[in-house]
Structure 1
Amino acid sequence: MFKQLLSVFLESQCPCCQKTTAHTFCKYCFNKLSSHQLKQPDRTGWWGETPVFAWGRYDGQLKRAIALMKYDNHPEIGIMLGKLLAKTWLASNLAKFTKISVIPIPLHHHKMKERSFNQAEKIALGFCQLTGYSLSSQALIRVKKTQAMFDLSPEERIKNLQGAFRLGKKPPQHPVLLLDDIYTMGTTIKESAKILRRNQIKVIGSVVVAKTSSYN
């Protein structure tokens, strides 16, 4: 009887369909989310100066989950997505890196006040919980309030992010993986990596939950 009562109190509503669930998403919505996972994420973008490892395609239920996290106050979705990203990373041939500092892309303090949390930091928390990597949330600071990037051209994106970041007071102790929720053209990741490298900090690459179809 006690266990039955306890299970009722522990259950919550699925943020996608409002069904009662003991997990972040109900089984049906989680399966829809999982259908957007990339088949071979470690081979689709791990190249170039700042390679990217993406868990899934920015579409359908995954796109909706990220929107719910950011705009409907569901930070727990970020932790869940971080754990999904971590499981795939650990199963890849890239998990040979053992001592890593994970730096989530920071929000400007105005955006933090508006949203109350940084979605990249929540994802990074879940990612580090499973990988055992060091979370370096204060290693990078966003000092410029930038425009939303979705309707900007590649040239406008670069100009928008110039001078947006600086090194924080707590530099990372190990080589860095940058972490963000969505990867479109990589402008934010590249600008962040540039600041770190300018300060003699090694950047291995980046990990993201989703990449858009515009990225190849």
Structure 2
Amino acid sequence: MNSPILKNFLKLFLQSSCPLCQRPTSSEFCPSCSKQLQKCQLHQPKYLWKPPLPIFGWGEYSGSLKSAIASLKYDNNPEIAIPLGRWLGEAWLQNSPPHPKPVVVPIPLHPNKLKQRGFNQAALIAKSFCETTGLKFQPNGLQRIRETEAQFSLSATQREKNLQAAFQLGRDFRKLPQLPVLLIDDIYTTGATAKSTSIILQENQIQVLGLAAVAVVRTN
């Protein structure tokens, strides 16, 4: 009963307050915050869907969406992952390019970070995404074996170096999947994390369809 995830799910349903502004609400977000979040949605979620690693994004990493992801990760609000994953899933069903049906793998946290935070936000988003799309959820397809420096403070080159040899296949892939993998993360920025994980998969003859992220950082 002391689980932070359980407490926050109970908070959502029992207190009925918006996790972003604390206003009373009967929904996951109050009408005002929900309206602001929807303004962040991309009109073209496939605009980065191109080689070498196709990227699919629900929204732009700015404004209310940036605040929501920060609140999810740093204010102990794991319940925020549920609507974010659902919105990403709905966008995927409506806009995804023709593709073989993939299995879904979240970007993993290092065990120390997971213990500190209490949950992996990418895994919670991916679970909600799979509940929406019906795709197979493989929460332990990858594991992070090296604790790395926080990415936000690093340059693009430093990010890639920081993530070298940070990942390996997890227990879900002791038997290699026959379907391609769709990676899921909360934010796509320079692509260093996505590149590092996709290399590990490809080195093990696992096809990577691409990465789907709730938020993408616009570079143009």
Please, which of 46, 63, 69 is the counterpart of residue 60 of structure 1?
A: 63
* 1:50 paired to 2:41: no
Q: Aligned AA for 1:64?
A: S
Q: Where do 1:1-216 residues align within 5 Å?
A: 12-42=16-46, 44-94=47-97, 96-97=98-99, 99-171=101-173, 173=177, 174-213=179-218, 215-216=219-220
SS of corresponding position for 1:21: coil
1:93 offset after TM fit, Å? 4.3
Quote the Cα distance in structure 2 between the aligned partners of 1:109 and 1:138.
Answer: 12
Partner of 1:4: none
Quote the Cα distance in structure 2 between the aligned partners of 1:128 and 1:11.
Answer: 27
Quote the Cα distance in structure 1 between the aligned partners of 2:181 and 2:77.
Answer: 27
The gaps in structure 1 that reach 5 residues or longer are: 1-8
Q: Aligned AA for 2:156?
A: P
Give CA-to-partner distance per residue, 1:161-207, whole Å, 9 cap, x none.
Answer: 00100011211632100010011100000110000000000100010
- Aligned-pair identity (%): 48
Quote the Cα distance in structure 2 between the aligned partners of 1:168 and 1:45.
Answer: 27
**Greater than 3 Å deviation, 4+ residue runs:** none
8 Å contact kept, 1:142–1:166: yes
Quote the Cα distance in structure 2 between the aligned partners of 1:69 and 1:186.
Answer: 21
Quote the Cα distance in structure 1 between the aligned partners of 2:61 and 2:41.
Answer: 9
SS of corresponding position for 1:150: helix
The gaps in structure 2 that reach 5 residues or longer are: 1-12
Quote the Cα distance in structure 2 between the aligned partners of 1:20 and 1:193.
Answer: 42
Q: Aligned AA for 2:38?
A: S
1:99 offset after TM fit, Å? 2.5
Q: Aligned AA for 1:197?
A: Q
The structure with the largest alpha-carbon Rg is 1
8 Å contact kept, 1:81–1:123: yes
Quote the Cα distance in structure 2 between the aligned partners of 1:93 and 1:168.
Answer: 27
8 Å contact kept, 2:148–2:162: yes
8 Å contact kept, 2:100–2:180: no
Aligned residues between the structures: 205
1:133 offset after TM fit, Å? 0.5
Give CA-to-partner distance per residue, 1:96-136, whole Å, 9 cap, x none.
Answer: 43521111000000100000000000100110001000111
SS of corresponding position for 2:151: coil
Q: Aligned AA for 2:95?
A: S
Give CA-to-partner distance per residue, 1:58-112, whole Å, 9 cap, x none.
Answer: 1110000001100111111111100000111111142x43521111000000100
8 Å contact kept, 2:83–2:128: yes
Quote the Cα distance in structure 2 between the aligned partners of 1:182 and 1:28.
Answer: 23
1:11 offset after TM fit, Å? 5.5
Q: Aligned AA for 1:19?
A: R
Quote the Cα distance in structure 2 between the aligned partners of 1:11 and 1:143.
Answer: 38
SS of corresponding position for 1:170: helix
